[in-house]
Each structure stands twice: as C-alpha cells, then as structure tokens.
Amino acid sequence: MRTPNCDERGGSVEQEPVTSAQAAGGDKQPILSVRGISKRFGGVQALDDVSLDLYPGEVHCLAGENGCGKSTLIKVISGAETPDSGEIVIEGASHRHMNTTSAIESGIQVIYQDFSLFPSLTVAENIVLTSAIAVQKKFYTSGAARATAKAIVDELQLDLDLDAEVGELSVANKQLTAICRALVSDARVIFMDEPTTALTHTEVKRLFQIVDQLRDRGVALVFVSHKLTEILQISQQVTIMRSGKVVKTGPVSEFDTRSIARHMTGRDIEDVRIVSDLPESSPLCMEVKDLTLNGAFWDVNFDVRRGEIIGVTGLLGSGRTEIAESLFGLLPPDRGEVLVDGERVELSSINGSVSAGIGYVPEDRLTQGLFLEKSIADNITAGSLDQHRTRWHTLDFRKVKATIHRLFTELRIKAPNAKAAVRTLSGGNAQRVVLAKWLATKPKVLILNGPTVGVDVGSKEQILELLREQASEGMAIIVISDDEPELVACCHRVLVVTKGRITTELRGDDVSVERIQESMAA
C-alpha cells in the first residue's frame, strides 16, 4: 500500500513507506499491524485508510496535531472503538475489530495521561488488579499480589514503595506503577500517551532508561508525543498523521524537528522570538509586593505593564504554580499585596481576583478549567454572564451569541459548531475553549499556567500568536511554563523561581533557552 507524503511545500505526493524491518536491513515480522483502518463519526472522517506496523523491541512515535486521529487509532487498536473498515493483524492472525478484553489478552496495553489507576489502593494492588480480573481470579490474597508486584518492580530495578497508596505518589511514580501493571499483564505492545508531559528532566531521563529495558524485553512501544526533541531522542521509527491520514512514516534518521513540524501541519513552523517593542511609558497594570505563602514561596516582587508578556519559570516544585494560584485567590497568601491599576486586590478568594480583572487558565484544564459535559458555547460564556446582562439584569442573548461566534471564530476552534460538547474536543481545541472563556471576561491581567501543555506544534504557534495579539491590545499577560522555547518565543521578560524565590530576571537578549536553563540549574 502506498501512503501520501508531504512535499517541502506541504502538498501531497506519493511515497512508498519504509518499514522498520527494511530500515534495519532485516526481515523480522511485525508484532502488530493495522491495515486500511477507516473510522467516521457522523460527518467527520477520523481515520482514512490508515496502516501501521509495530515491531518488537522498537519505539515507534505517533505524531500529529490534535484532532489528527491518533487517539481514535489507539482506541481502535485497544478495542475501545470499532473501525468501519480495515483489519488488525496480531502475529499473523487477522481481526476485523478488537474488544477491550481481546486486546488485553493479545498483549495490548494503553497507558493514558491520567494512568487510570486506583488512588485509594496500594502500588502492589494497582499493579496486579487488572491482570487478576482479566484471568477471572475469584480470590485475592495480599501476599500473592505483593509477591507478583515485587517481582516486576525488582526486575526493572525500580524504587517503588509497594505499600504506598497510589494517590500519594508523584506523577513519575504513578507512571512507573502503570508500566508495571502493563508488564504483569504480559504486555507485548504498550501505547504511552504524552508520557513526559508532567515530568522533570531527571524523571524523563529515568523513564527513557525504563523504555530501553522494555525494548530489551522485546516489547513494542508507541509514544504519542508533541515534544519534537524527545521524539528524535527516543524513537527508532516515526509515523506522522494529519486529518485522519498517515502522511509520512520512516526511520527517525529521516526527520528533524522542522520536518516533523512541517509534516504535522503542512507548513513550515518558525521557532523564533517575536516580541513587540514595549514603550517605557506603558503604564503599570499589576504590582506584586512581598507576596509570601509560607512553605511555598517568599518575598515575591514583580510588576507587569499593559501590553507586556512576562514568563515565570522554574523546576517542578519551585513554587511557580503556587504563585499563580495565589494571584488568582486559590491559595490566599500569608502576607504581601497585589495591586491592579493601583487598586489593592482582595486575595482571600477567587471572586476578589476576578472582580479586580484577573483571569487564570489552570494547568489542568480538563478538571479545573472546563465543564466537559457542557457545550463549547456554555463554557465560553460561563465566566462572563454579568458582562452580558441588560440594564434590567436579564441576559442579552444577542450579545451572548455575538461573543460566542466571535471567539469561536477568532480562536479557530475545530468543532462542527459551538453546540458540541467540550468532552468531544482534542486537547488543543479544549485549550482554546479555556482561553475563550477568559477572554470573554475581558481581563486586565491573564495568567496562563502551561498554556500549550499537551497541544501540537501548530496549535502552540496559534496560541502564542493569540497571546501576542491580546498583549498588543493592552492586556497584561503572565505565562507560567517550563517550556523554554515557548518563553523565548513570546515573553518580554522571564522570571526564574528557585525554591520559592525569584532568583533571576532575564530581559532583552538575555531571554534565551540557554540562559533560562542556566538560571534554573544555578
């Protein structure tokens, strides 16, 4: 089968895909293949004649923009969705479709971003529970469960407390628990959905060491990731999807970050610094004075001018998120003050911050920023009903409709219409809805915590351009992020937080990836 490939201008050409076996110069057989998989949801063609080969002992990266079909393909392979056409071939046996039970029995495991663990159970219980259910064990004994869990933890040489409750673990250890659970179920193919999103650099390095161990065991791994440098670092094979189709597949040696971005989006993505000139006369919008939350951060001082974008960065646990949440009233500080347009902000509650004109896009948009079962329209206007009332305090529905249409269009939200439920959206489009919700309130200061976490390179570019546009209209913007290129691309200044204190301020030519990393490591 021939698959379409993108030429240098983003057009479509035909190219014979390079299989992993061919790239290696061998004749090994795939452990799993999908052939001609198609899937339609209503008027949307989610998958269009998709084919893919996965080989034992190989990391295969599946890349593409949000909404390109990656998640649907994984759901088809793992039995959560039934394809309209095509076949799944597992070690030579053809299946028209899988169900979740048969997929697990065939050795297919998916580790989702939320890990799907039981927070109130121990590490050992989480590791063994699903495998026990799969083989229909009627009795559970903690001793046997612990022995099984210990065997796999010891084999991978992990430092996991088998008796700890999973809800108390770090994100990295939750991920390791999920990997152990997959291996206890005799996984031969493991899909990992955005596995490094919430990990520190040290934890990412450790995860990659575990991946190498899994490869040595002959496991086929599929990484779904938007971090292009990590794709090049960990993968042997790359498949890129766009609009439900495979547009390029081949060995990782054929790619660099620019070519991956180009195939994902159909255009060249320029990773450059675009920052407007900020006049010295630009008035102060927010002033933060001696802000302290004991145990989290101390004596934080900075200001933001109208039209300015500043970045706040630091390692996980540095206090950067707590600073953002205190500014929004989620974590009332112990002392200090915040002024917006010269007026003191009441930080004892979220209402005080919102009334002062502060908006906050949280780190976890799915649980903190959106009503997933509600429509896009309802989410956009959820925080701005007061701004859409008539003088008689009733809702001005024409004004509401105009706001929804304007933001739905300006933010390029990809959905059939604004009535679609937010839970049906891709990560990038969900992020756009959160932004739309706060832009509808017309805030004076917009704080964004990880604004492009989990979104693709094309969506990232569009979100950063949107922030630049809002700043050009006079909004003050604070970006909390550990994505150094993102900070360099859009921020006038960058503040580095270390152990709860602002230790460095970078501005002008000093705002570079190298200087940010040096300051974080100091």
Answer left, alpha or beta for residue 20, where phi above 0 means left and psi between -120 and 50 means alpha. alpha
Q: How confident is the model at residue 75 (pLDDT cuts 50, 70, 90)?
A: very high
pLDDT category, 460, cuts 50, 70, 90?
A: confident
- Could you tell me how far CA 338 lies from the centroid of its own chain? 31
pLDDT computed for residue 372 by the predictor: 82
Residue 377 to residue 369: CA distance in whole angstroms? 14
Q: What pLDDT is attached to residue 14?
A: 36
| Higher-confidence position of 2 and 322 | 322
pLDDT in tens, 264-302: 888 877 667 889 888 888 999 999 999 999 999 999 999
Which of 217-226, 410-419, 422-431, 513-522 is predicted with the least confidence, judged by mean pLDDT? 422-431
Long-range contacts (CB closer than 8 Å, 24 or more residues apart) made by 413-416? 413/376, 414/67, 415/376, 416/42, 416/43, 416/44
DSSP one-letter code for 368: I
User: Does position 9 have pLDDT exceeding 60, yes or no?
Assistant: no
378 vs 422: CA distance, rounded Å: 9
Q: What is the pLDDT of residue 469?
A: 93
Q: What is the 3-state secondary structure (H, E, C) of 277-330?
A: CCCCCCCEEEEEEEEEECCCEEEEEEEEECCCEEEEECCCCCCHHHHHHHHCCC
Question: What CA–CA distance (Å, rounded) separates 453 from 430?
Answer: 11
CA triple 172-178-183, angle to 5 deg = 130
Residue 6 is given by DSSP the state E
Contact at 8 Å (CB) between 436 and 405?
no
pLDDT band of residue 2 (cuts 50, 70, 90) is: very low
Q: What is the pLDDT of residue 22?
A: 43
CA distance 236 to 393: 61
Residue 60: which pLDDT band, with cuts at 50, 70 and 90? very high
Residue range 217-235: mean pLDDT, rounded? 91
Mean pLDDT of 476-495: 94
Q: What is the b/e burial string over 284-294, where b = at least 16 CB atoms within 10 angstroms of the residue's CB?
A: ebbbbeebbbe
CA distances from 420 to 27, 73, 185, 373 (A): 47, 22, 37, 9
| Residue with the larger pLDDT of the pair 203 and 248 | 248
Confidence of residue 451 (pLDDT cuts 50, 70, 90): confident
Long-range contacts of 507-516 (CB under 8 A, 24+ apart): 511/273, 511/275, 511/487, 512/488, 513/484, 513/485, 513/488, 516/313, 516/484, 516/487, 516/488
Per-residue pLDDT band for 13 (boundaries 50, 70, 90) equals very low
This prediction has a pTM of: 0.69
Q: Label residue 412 by pLDDT band (50, 70, 90).
A: confident
Contact 235, 211 (CB under 8 A): no
Averaged pLDDT, 471-487: 93
| Percentage of residues of the chain with pLDDT beyond 90 | 55
Residue 356: the pLDDT is 95
CA–CA gap between residue 440 and residue 380 (Å, rounded): 7
Mean pLDDT taken over the chain: 87
204 Cα distance to chain centroid: 15
In this predicted structure, what is the pLDDT of residue 139? 61
Query: Residue 315 — pLDDT band, cuts 50, 70, 90?
Result: confident
pLDDT at 304 over 90: yes
pLDDT category at 186 given cuts 50, 70, 90 is confident
Is the per-residue pLDDT at 135 higher than 70? no
Question: Which pLDDT belongs to residue 478?
Answer: 98
Distance CA 149, CA 128 (A): 6
pLDDT of residue 12: 37
Q: pLDDT, tens digit, for every residue of 355-397? A: 999 999 887 666 567 888 899 999 999 888 788 888 888 888 8
Coil, strand or helix at 499: coil
* Cβ atoms 212, 180 nearer than 8 A: no
pLDDT digits (tens, 9 = 90+) for 148-158: 999 999 988 88
DSSP-derived pairing of the beta strands 245-251 and 237-242: antiparallel
Structural domains of the chain sorted by starting position, each given as residue range(s) with its CATH number in brackets? 284-521 (3.40.50.300)
Question: Does the pLDDT at position 465 exceed 70?
Answer: yes
d(CA 96, CA 138): 32
Separation between Cα atoms, residue 480 and residue 308, nearest integer Å: 14
pLDDT band, residue 132 (cuts 50/70/90): low
Most confident segment among 3-17, 169-183, 192-206, 463-477? 463-477
In whole angstroms, what is the distance from residue 284 CA to residue 304 CA?
6
